[in-house]
Amino acid sequence: MSAPPLTLTVNGTPRAVVAPPETRLSAVLRDGLGLTGTKTGCDAGDCGACTVLLRGAPVCACLVPLAQAAGGAVLTVEGLAAMPLGAALQAAFLHHGAAQCGICTPGMLLAAMALLEATPRPDEAAAMEALGGVLCRCTGYRKILEAVCDAHRFLGTPPVPASGAVGARLPRIDGPAKLTGAALYGADAAPADALWLRPIRSPHAHARFRLGDCAPLLARHPGLHRVLTAADVPGRNGFGIYPDIKDQPVFCDGVVRYRGDCVAALVGERAAVEAVRAEELPLEWEVLPPLSDPEAALAAAPLHPRWPDNVLTTGRVVSGDATAALAGSAHLAEGAWQTGFVEHAYIEPEAGWAQRVGTRIEVFATTQAPYMDLEEVAGVLGIPHDAVRIIPSACGGGFGGKLDVSVQPMLAIAAWLLRRPVRAAWSRAESMASSTKRHPSRITARAGCDAAGRLTGFAFEGIFDTGAYASWGPTVAGRVPVHAMGPYRVPSVATRARAVFTHQPPSGAFRGFGVPQAAIAQEALWDQLADAVGLDRLEFRALNALRAGDTTATGQVLTQSVGLVACLDALRPRWQALRAEAAARNTRGGPRRHGVGIACMWYGIGNTGMSNPSTMRVTLGPEGLVFHNGAVDIGQGSTTVLLQIVAEALGLRTEDFTLVLGDTDLTADAGKTSASRQTFVSGRAAQEAGAALRQAILLRANAGEDAHLRLEGSRLFVDGRELALDGVLEGIGRFDPPTVPLDADGQGIPYATYGFAAQVAALSVDTELGTVRLERIVAAHDVGRAINPTLVEGQIHGGIAQGIGLALMEEYLPGRTENLHDYLIPTTGDVPEIECILVEDPEALGPYGAKGIGEPALVPTAPAIFSAIRDATGVTITQAPALPHRVLAAIAEASR
C-alpha cells in the first residue's frame, strides 16, 4: 500500500512527497527531494545540523515526522541565497571565517535566520542562545557569533574582492559551497541505484561468536542481497596505520575485542537492510570477561599473540641522569594524573560509497588520508595500488578520527563482490562506538628545580590505553616522551610512555597525539614548583622557556624559530591585568572564586623522526592554470592556504587558478592531513611548485626574476607581453622535512620544526557546586608566519574549544555516553571570549616562514584551565574531565 503524496512548500516551491508519514523530515529533504544541504549528524536532536525553519520556527528536521510538516513551509539552506537576509548572513559567515568543515553550517545559518528575522541586530547573548542548539566541533563558535551579530552590515552590500596574497585574510575558497549547501559530504552523493551496507557490530567488549547459516535471513528479507563476513574478504582481512601492523579485521573472525567491533555487514536495498533486527541474526555469543584497565592488562593474557605483555609500543627519551638531578634539586614536585577517552565528535559521521569499474575500485568517502585509504583498500581487496581510486568527499570534521579507515574497506569489498555501487552512512551511535578515541592516560611525573627556579630534572611515566587495536598507538607512544617535559630547558630527562592493549575502543589519532594529556601533568608541576620557589607562574615559565640555540632532550639544537619567549612577553600584560582583576573580585567574598592560569606547549610539526613528504603540482596550458593539490581540507583551510602560497610563489592571483583536489587519480600524494603538517610540508611543496612554474615561464619568456605575470583567461602576459603557450608548462614541488630517527634513548632530530604557544585562562569556580565558568582565554601562538590570519584564528578558537571539552566535560564511556546527548561537547555558551595573539618567528624551512597550528591550539588549553582552577581554589585537578562532582570532591579533600 503506498500512501498518497503529501505536499511541502520547500523554499517557496510546492513539492509532492511520497514517503511513509513517520519519515523524518530530514530524510524527506535529503533522500526524497535531493536537498542534501540539510545535514544529519545524529538523528536525535542533539547536534542541530539538520535545523530548518518549519512554518518559520527552527526545528530539528530529524525529529519531525513528514505528516506533521505536510502542508507547511520549509526553509532550507538551499533557499537562503535568494533571500536578502539569507544572502547577507552567508556573506557574513564567509567574511568572518565562520564555516570551517562546514557540516554544521547549514544548521547554524538556519538557526541564525530564525533569530535575525525577529531581531535583525542581535547582541552576542541573543545569538548565543539562538544557536545554543547547534553543535560545532571546529570553530569554537566565536566567529559564528561575530558573523551573526554582524550580518546586517552585509545586507545589499556587494562583496569586496579579497586579496589572496600571503598574509591576507582571503575568505576560504571552499566557503561558498559550504554556505549554500552545495558541498558534497560523504553521505551526500551516491548513485540512485546504490545498495546500502549496514554493519553488524558487537555489543560486547570481549566475546567469541559464531555466525550460523544466513540463508533463512536472506529468504525472509528479499531485498537483502548478501551478508558479508570474514570469509568474504578477498585480500587481507586486516587494516591498520602501520605497514607492518594490520591487526584490525574488517570483519572479526570468531572473536570480538571491543564493543563496536564489526562481525559482519548486511548489503541490500535500503528498506531491507534497515528492517533486519538483532534477534533475527544467526549469531551465538559466548561473552568473555573484558580487560578494561590498562594497568591490569600489563599482567593479563594477551589480546593479540604478537604482543604477549599487551604492550604495543614503548617510547622513551633519556638525557642526563634524571634520578640524580631530582635528588639534588632544591625543590621537588610530583603527582599522578588520569584522563579518559575523548571522542572526536566530528559532526559528520563516517559515510561514503564505492563502485567497481572493471578491474578497478573507486571509493568516495569522508577521510583525512586518501593515500592511506588507497593502501588499505588495495590490501583488503588484494589488488594493486593502481587499481584503487580514492575520491575524498568534503570532510565534515576529522581531528584525527578520519585518519583511520571506516567505511572504505567494507564498501570496497561489497562493491567489488556484488558489482553494484554500495553506500553506507554510520549512525551517530555506530560512529561513536566503532571509531577511534583519544588515548586515556595514567601519568606519574616528578620535576625539580634549583633555588632560583631553574629546572633541573624531569621524570615521566605514562600508560596510554590503546584499546583493542594498534591504530596510531605507536605514534602516541613515540610522540609523548619527546614532548612530555614541554618547551623548557630541562638538563636531565627520563620519560617513558607505553601504549597498552585493552578491550576498549581503539585509541588513535586525536589532535595532539597524546601531548595534550602529557601537558596536563607537566604544567601542573610547574605551578607547584613556581609556588615553592616563590616565583610568578608566568615568570617561572619564561625563565625556563626554550630559546633559539638551546638543545632539547632528544639532543636537537633549535637554531631558529623558537617563539615561546615572545608569546610569554605578549601575554604578560594580560596576565597581570587578569590576575589583578581576579584578586579584586575575590576580595568581595562569596562562594565564587576567581583564578587565572597559564600553560605553554610545543609541538613538533609532521611525523616523528620519519619521512613524510608532500608533492604539489601546478600546470599552465590550454586548460588554464591548474593547481593539483592532494591535501585534504578537513576544515582547517589547506585548500585556501596552499592556494595563497602557490599564487604568491608563481606571481599570479588566487582567482586565476582552477583547482583539482585530493583525487588519488588526479593529484600526487600530499600525505595525510595530520600532525599539523599541511601548511608546513605541503605549503613548502606548493611554494616550490609555484616557483618552478615561474622559472619555466621566465625561461620561455626570457624575462628577469622580478618579471610581472598576468593571466587573462588562458592568455599569459609577462611584463605586459603575451607569451604564446603551445604545450603545458608544469611546476612540481616536493618537500620532506629533514629529520633523524630517534635511537633507543630517544636521541635524534624528531621534527624539522616546532610550533610554540602559551595560553592564559581566566575563570571562576563555584566552590559550593564545583562548577567552572570560563571568562576569558588569551592565546599567543608562534605560527612562524600566518599565511591567512583568519584561518589561523579559526584553528586556535577550535582547538581551545576542544581543550575546554577535554578539561571540563568530555568523557566517552563505551555503551554509556554513545550519543551527543550524554557525551557532552562545548556549546555556544561554553566557549568564552578568546583573544588570539599571533607571534611570527619565521621558520626558515617553512613556506614564507610558516609552521603549523592545527594541534598546538588545543594542547595548552586544559592545563591552563586546571592552572586557573588551582589559582582560584588551591586544589590540583588530577582527573580530566573536571566534572562538577570531581572539582567539589577535590575542594572538600583539600579542606579536610
User: In the complex, what is the shortest distance from the CB of residue 582 to another protein, in angstroms, rounded to a whole number?
Assistant: 18
Write out 378-391 in H/E/C secondary structure.
HHHHCCCHHHEEEE
User: In the complex, what is the shortest distance from the CB of residue 70 to another protein, in angstroms, rounded to a whole number?
Assistant: 9
318/890 Cα distance (integer angstroms): 34
Query: What sections of 316-369 are H helices per DSSP?
Result: 322-327
Nearby residues of 757 by Cβ (< 8 Å), 6 or more positions away:
564, 567, 600, 601, 602, 779, 780, 781, 782, 856, 857, 859, 860
Q: Which does 134 bind (CB under 5 to 8 A by kind): ligand FAD, ligand FES, another protein, none?
A: another protein
| 864 binds another protein, rule: CB under 8 A | no
289 closest CA partner among 391, 205, 165: 205
User: In the complex, what is the shortest distance from the CB of residue 181 to ligand FAD, in angstroms, rounded to a whole number?
Assistant: 23
Q: Which does 129 bind (CB under 5 to 8 A by kind): ligand FAD, ligand FES, another protein, none?
A: another protein
309/624 Cα distance (integer angstroms): 58
**Candidate residues 38, 51, 355, 682; the one interacting with another protein per rule CB under 8 A:** 51
645/854 Cα distance (integer angstroms): 18
784/795 Cα distance (integer angstroms): 15
| 893 binds another protein, rule: CB under 8 A | no
Residue in the structure block whose three cell numbers are 559482519? 264
Site for another protein in 742-771 (CB under 8 A): 768-771
204/691 Cα distance (integer angstroms): 56
CA distance to 67, 272, 364, 559, 571, per residue, from 3 (Å): 11, 19, 34, 73, 65
613/630 Cα distance (integer angstroms): 12
618/648 Cα distance (integer angstroms): 13
| 46 binds ligand FAD, rule: CB under 6 A | yes
Q: Residue 492's beta-bridge partner residues?
A: 457
| 397 binds ligand FES, rule: CB under 6 A | yes
User: In the complex, what is the shortest distance from the CB of residue 397 to ligand FES, in angstroms, rounded to a whole number?
Assistant: 5
**Candidate residues 30, 43, 64, 645; the one interacting with ligand FES per rule CB under 6 A:** 43
877/874 Cα distance (integer angstroms): 10
| 111 binds ligand FES, rule: CB under 6 A | no
Site for another protein in 872-891 (CB under 8 A): 883-885, 888-889
**How many residues of this chain bind ligand FAD (CB under 6 A)?**
2
User: In the complex, what is the shortest distance from the CB of residue 803 to ligand FAD, in angstroms, rounded to a whole number?
Assistant: 24
Per-residue contact flags (x/-) with ligand FES for residues 87 to 106, judged by CB under 6 A? ------------xxxxxx--
657/333 Cα distance (integer angstroms): 56
| 43 binds ligand FAD, rule: CB under 6 A | no
Site for another protein in 508-567 (CB under 8 A): none
Cis peptide before 881 (omega within 30 of 0): yes
100/750 Cα distance (integer angstroms): 30
656/669 Cα distance (integer angstroms): 24
User: In the complex, what is the shortest distance from the CB of residue 4 to ligand FES, in angstroms, rounded to a whole number?
Assistant: 27
- Three-class SS of residue 722? strand
Angle, CA of 338, 340 and 342, to the nearest 5°: 140
Per-residue contact flags (x/-) with another protein for residues 186 to 215, judged by CB under 8 A? --------------xx-x------------
Query: What sections of 446-556 are H helices per DSSP?
Result: 473-483, 515-533, 537-544
| 826 binds another protein, rule: CB under 8 A | yes
Contact criterion met (CB below 8 Å) for 186 and 408: no
**Candidate residues 32, 45, 132, 203; the one interacting with ligand FAD per rule CB under 6 A:** 45
Nearer to ligand FAD, 63 or 230 (CB): 63
Site for ligand FAD in 804-823 (CB under 6 A): none
**How many residues of this chain bind another protein (CB under 8 A)?**
69
User: In the complex, what is the shortest distance from the CB of residue 821 to ligand FAD, in angstroms, rounded to a whole number?
Assistant: 6
Nearer to ligand FAD, 46 or 855 (CB): 46
**Candidate residues 9, 32, 45, 281; the one interacting with ligand FES per rule CB under 6 A:** 45
Please return the burial class of 168, using the count of CB atoms within 10 Å of its CB with bins 0-12, 13-18 and 19+: middle
Q: What secondary structure letter does DSSP report for 339?
A: E
Nearer to another protein, 131 or 634 (CB): 131
**Candidate residues 11, 76, 139, 767; the one interacting with ligand FES per rule CB under 6 A:** 139
Per-residue contact flags (x/-) with ligand FES for residues 48 to 77, judged by CB under 6 A? xxx---------x-x---------------
Q: Which stretch binds ligand FES (CB under 6 A): 41-49, 334-342, 474-482, 825-833?
A: 41-49
Site for ligand FES in 260-289 (CB under 6 A): none
User: In the complex, what is the shortest distance from the CB of residue 340 to another protein, in angstroms, rounded to a whole number?
Assistant: 10
Site for another protein in 28-47 (CB under 8 A): 42-46
263/271 Cα distance (integer angstroms): 21
Q: Which does 57 bind (CB under 5 to 8 A by kind): another protein, ligand FES, ligand FAD, none?
A: another protein
Site for another protein in 150-189 (CB under 8 A): none
537 closest CA partner among 787, 79, 864, 62: 864
Nearer to ligand FES, 397 or 606 (CB): 397
User: In the complex, what is the shortest distance from the CB of residue 278 to ligand FAD, in angstroms, rounded to a whole number?
Assistant: 22
Write out 173-192 in H/E/C secondary structure.
CCHHHHHHCCCCECCCCCCC
Return residues touching ligand FAD (CB under 6 A): 45-46
Residues in contact with another protein by CB under 8 A are 1, 20-22, 24, 42-46, 48, 51, 57-60, 62-65, 67-68, 111, 114, 128-130, 132-135, 200-201, 203, 274, 276-278, 281, 427-430, 433, 768-771, 808-809, 811, 813, 816-819, 821-822, 824, 826-830, 883-885, 888-889
Which spans of this chain sit near ligand FES (rule: CB under 6 A)? 40-43, 45-50, 60, 62, 99-104, 136-139, 347, 397, 635
